[in-house]
């Protein structure tokens, strides 16, 4: 019963409020006029917003894939260490960025990637470039910021999944003549698939709603759907359209969770 009450108050009620607001009109001076309409959902498929939605999914998908490619070797390396003290140190290093504020971490990348930042200064002093590279306010900067901030969300579930694998399976695989690569491909990778799927969703879902990183590192050149929602609520004061965008993202996330459940049920069967 406590969990049901929690879900009703903090999940069903907000979804209902957002959905109901999306079917009303924006007032002349902002606010809401309670006239039923579906134009807010039709406006989503305007060329401008359609492009931003596609860009958002591209950023989130690439971030999930990059975090997987970078996080799996790291999680695998940590799990293979026999020294528990060394494991703890490596895990602390993974979590170390979370000891500082999210905004501070993002601002630090602005200092690194700027025209007069550390990276450009080093490259100029090494005579590798003659003029500063345009690193800040680019899609590259946004993708780099997403990768840096969300990589731990991939490493930790992968480490937990790999760590639970029975080490005797590795020995059995080697006794049967399998190489290290075949052991990894046929034993480690399939058994760590729950951690892979969990890490992908832990990275992909919050990346969809990200607005701080594209706002600070991408500027006006690479807005994501989170930036549009923020502007609709705080600047344009078009709450109905902002609610329609929020509800669309929530539907897509729920659709992705349903696919994940289907995949897990198929694997378990």
Question: pLDDT of the chain along its 269 residues, tens only?
Answer: 888 899 888 888 888 888 899 999 988 887 788 899 989 988 888 888 888 989 999 999 999 999 999 999 999 999 888 788 888 898 899 888 888 888 889 999 999 998 888 899 999 998 888 888 898 999 999 999 999 999 999 999 999 999 998 888 888 888 888 888 898 898 889 999 889 988 998 999 889 889 999 999 988 778 899 899 999 988 888 999 999 998 888 887 777 777 767 766 655 55
In this predicted structure, what is the pLDDT of residue 264? 63
In this predicted structure, what is the pLDDT of residue 77? 92
Distance in angstroms (rounded) separating the CA atoms of residues 105 and 208: 19
With b for 16 or more beta-carbon neighbours within 10 A and e for fewer, the 207-229 pattern comes to bbbbbebbbbbbeeebbbbbbbb
Q: Supply the pTM of this predicted model.
A: 0.86
52 CB-near residues (< 8 Å, 6+ apart) = 223, 224, 225, 228
162-195 tens-digit pLDDT: 999 888 888 888 888 888 889 889 888 999 988 9
Instruction: Count the neighbouring beta carbons within 10 Å of the beta carbon of residue 182.
Output: 13
In this predicted structure, what is the pLDDT of residue 61? 93
In this predicted structure, what is the pLDDT of residue 151? 93
Tell me which residue has tokens 């971490």: 105
**Class (C level, CATH) for 41-268:** mainly alpha
In this predicted structure, what is the pLDDT of residue 14? 86
In this predicted structure, what is the pLDDT of residue 265? 62
In this predicted structure, what is the pLDDT of residue 143? 94
DSSP code per residue over 2-69: HHHHHHIIIIIHHHHHHHHHTTSEE-BTBSEE-----HHHHHHTSHHHHHHHHHHHHHHHHHHHHHHH
CB 117 within 8 A of CB 137: no
Counted residue by residue, the chain has a size of: 269
């Amino acid at each position: 019963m406590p969990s049901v009450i929690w879900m009703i108050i903090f999940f069903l009620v907000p979804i209902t409020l957002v959905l109901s607001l999306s079917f009303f009109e924006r007032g002349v001076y902002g606010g809401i006029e309670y006239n039923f309409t579906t134009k807010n959902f039709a406006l989503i498929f305007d060329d401008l917003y359609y492009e931003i939605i596609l860009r958002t999914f591209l950023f989130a998908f690439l971030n999930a894939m990059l975090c997987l490619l970078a996080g799996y070797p790291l999680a695998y390396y940590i799990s293979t260490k026999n020294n528990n003290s060394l494991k703890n140190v490596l895990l602390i290093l993974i979590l170390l960025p979370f000891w500082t504020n999210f905004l501070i971490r993002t601002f630090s990348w602005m200092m690194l990637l700027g025209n007069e930042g550390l990276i450009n200064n080093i490259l100029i002093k090494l005579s590798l470039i003659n003029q500063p590279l345009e690193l800040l306010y680019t899609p590259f900067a946004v993708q780099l910021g997403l990768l840096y901030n969300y990589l731990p969300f991939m490493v930790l579930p992968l480490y937990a999944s790999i760590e639970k694998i029975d080490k005797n399976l590795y020995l059995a695989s080697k006794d049967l003549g399998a190489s290290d690569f075949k052991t990894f491909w046929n034993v480690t990778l399939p058994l760590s698939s729950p951690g892979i799927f969990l890490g992908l969703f832990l990275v992909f879902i919050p990346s969809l709603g990200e607005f701080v990183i594209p706002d600070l590192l991408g500027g006006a050149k690479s807005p994501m759907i989170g930036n549009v929602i923020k502007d609709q609520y705080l600047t344009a004061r078009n709450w109905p359209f902002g609610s329609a965008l929020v509800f669309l993202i929530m539907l897509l996330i729920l659709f992705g969770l349903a696919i994940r459940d289907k995949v897990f049920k198929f694997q378990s069967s």
